[in-house]
Amino acid sequence: MNRPVTIRVQKVKKNRIRTRLFIFLFLAVVLVLVSFFADQIVPYDPYAQNLSLSRQPPSAAHFMGTDQYGRDVFSRVVVGAKASVFSTLILVCVTSVFGTLVGTLCGYFGRGIDSVVMRISDVCLAFPGLVFALAIAALLGGGMSNAVIALAVISWPKYARVARGQTLALKNSDFVAAARLAGDNSVQMIQRHILPNILGPILVTAMLDIGTMMMELAGLSFLGLGAQPPMAEWGNMMSGGRSMLQTYPWLVLSPGVAIFLTVVTFNLLGDTVRDYMDPKTTTL
C-alpha cells in the first residue's frame, strides 16, 4: 500500500468508527434511560400477583407472558433492567475509579506503597471469588448491594494493574521528564500528565468489563446471593424459571434475551471505543 492511500483509508475508517460509536452509545443510553424510567414505562405493576393468570404464554395482553405468580414478565424484565444495569454501572464505576487511583499511585510512587498494595491485591485475587461472594452473602445477607460489594472487592485489582502498568510505562517517558524539569510536583504530574494518558486503556477495560460484570451479577443472583425475591432482576428471574425451561420457556428466555441484548450492546460499545482509541486494531 502507498502512504497517501493509507492516510485516506485511515480517515474513512475513523469516520466509520465514529458512526458506530454514536450508534452504540445511543443504544447504551437508551438502555440506561429505560432502566431509569422503568417504573414509569411498565404496562403492569411488576409485583402485582394474580394467581388466576399464572403461567400464561406470551399474548397480546402480556407481551412476554406471566410467571408462576401471575406477574407480567415484560414489566419485570423492564424493571429488572434497573437492578441489572444500574448495579453493573455502579460496580464498574466504583472499581475502575478506585482501582485506577490506587494503581496510579502505586506506579508513580513505587517502593513501599507499591509492594503493600500489590500484596493486598494478590490476596484479593488469590481468594476464590465464589467463596468470597458466598461468604459475603452469608455474612451480610443477600441483596444487590452486597453482591456488588463482593464483586467490587474482587474486581478492583484488575484496574489497579492496568493503571499501574501504564503509569510505569509513562513514568520514564520524555514528556514526563520534561514536566518534572519544568517544576511540576507529584500531584500536578499525576493530574495533568499521567491520568489523562492512561484514561484511554482504562476506559476501554471498563467498557469491555460491563458485559462481564453484568453476567457475574446475574450469576450471583442466580445462585441466590444477589437480588432477593420478589425483587425483579434478570439473574434471579432466570434462576426462578430455570426448572420450567422445557414447560414454560418464556420465563427463562425473556430475561435471558434481555441480558444477552444488553451485554451485546455494551460489548459492542466497548469494542467501538477501543477501536476509536486505536484505529490500528480496528475490527471494521
Partner 1 sequence: MKHYAVKRLLQLIPILFAITFLSYGMMRLAGSDVVEQKMENTSGTVSQEMIDAAREELGLDKPFVIQYVTWLGKLARGDMGVSYVSHKPVFSTFVSKLPATLLLAFVSILLTVVVSIPLGIWSAVNQNKAADYVIRTASFIGNSLPNFFVSLLLMYFFAIRLNWFPVISRGVSLQSVALPAFTLAIAMSAKYLRQVRATVLDELSKDYVLGAKARGVKFSTTMLNSVMKASLVTIITLLTLSIGSLLGGTAIVESIFMWDGVGKMAVDAINMRDYPIIQAYVMWMAIIYVLVNLITDVSYRYLDPRIRLGGTEQ
Partner 2 sequence: MKKILAILLMLCIAAGILSGCGGGNTPAASGKKKIFVFGDTTFNAENEEPDINPHNAYSGWPCVRYGVGETLMKIADDGTLKPWLAKSATNVNETTWEIVMKDGVRFSNGKKCDAAAVKACFEHLIKVHERAAGNLKIASMKADGQKLTIVTKEPNPILMNYLSEAYGCIIDMETGIPKNGCVVGTGPFVATEVVTDNHVKLVKNANYWDGKVKVDEVTVRTISNGDTLAMALQSGEINAAYGMAYASYPLFENDKFKFSSIQTSRCFWGMVNFHKENPGYRIMSDPAVRKAIAMGINKKGFVDVLLKGYGYTATGAFPDSFAFGKGVSTVSYDPEQAKKILQDAGWVDTNGDGIREKDGVKLSIRWLTYPSRQELPLLAESAQATLKDIGIEVQINNTKSHNTVRKDPKAWDIWVSANVNAGLGDPQNFFDTYCLDSSIKNSGGHHSDNLEKLAVQLRSAFDPGERAKIAVKMQQELLDDNSYFFCSFLRMSMIMQANVTGLTAHTCDFYELTADLDIK
- CA 268 vs CA 97, 204, 212, 238: distances in Å: 22, 11, 13, 24
Site residues (CB under 8 A) for partner 1, limited to 131-160: 131-132, 134-136, 138-139
For residues 198 and 54, give the distance between their C-alpha atoms in angstroms, rounded to a whole number. Answer: 53
DSSP state of 244: G
Amino acid at 146: N
Residue 275 Cβ vs partner 2, minimum distance, rounded to whole Å: 26
In the complex with partner 2, the residue whose CB is nearer, 172 or 247, is 247
Pick what 52 binds: partner 1, partner 2, none; C-beta below 5 to 8 Å, kind-dependent.
partner 2
Min separation Cβ 223 and partner 2, Å: 11
Q: Is 224 among the residues that bind partner 1 (CB under 8 A)?
A: no
Which residues would be at the binding site for partner 2 (CB under 8 A)? Answer: 48-49, 51-52, 54, 68-70, 138, 141, 224, 228-230, 242-247
Distance CA 117, CA 127 (A): 15
Q: Which does 160 bind (CB under 5 to 8 A by kind): partner 2, partner 1, none?
A: none
Question: How many other CB atoms are there within 10 angstroms of residue 249's CB atom?
Answer: 14
218 binds partner 1 (CB under 8 A): yes
Report, in Å, the least distance between residue 43 CB and partner 1.
Answer: 26
Going from the C-alpha of 189 to that of each of 64, 102, 117, the distances in angstroms are 54, 15, 21
Transcribe 74-88 into DSSP letters: HHHHHHHHIIIIIHH
CA distance 275 to 284: 9
Residue 239 C-beta: closest distance to partner 2, Å: 11
Contact string 69-108 vs partner 1 (x = CB under 8 A) = ----------------------------------------
The yes or no reply on residue 127 touching partner 1 (CB under 8 A) is yes
Q: Helix H segments across the chain?
A: 3-36, 38-41, 73-81, 87-109, 111-126, 129-140, 144-171, 174-181, 186-188, 195-222, 234-241, 250-277
Complex with partner 1: residue 61 or 245, whichever CB lies closer: 245
What cell was used for 50? 394474580
**Contact region for partner 1 (CB under 8 A) — 18-26, 82-90, 190-198, 254-262?**
254-262
Q: Which of 70, 143, 165, 201 binds partner 1 (CB under 8 A)?
A: 165
**72 SS3 class:** strand
Q: Given the rule CB under 8 A, which residues bind partner 1?
A: 1, 119, 122-123, 125-132, 134-136, 138-139, 165, 168, 172, 211, 215, 218-219, 222-223, 235, 238-239, 242, 245-246, 252, 256, 259-260, 263-264, 267-268, 280-281, 283-284
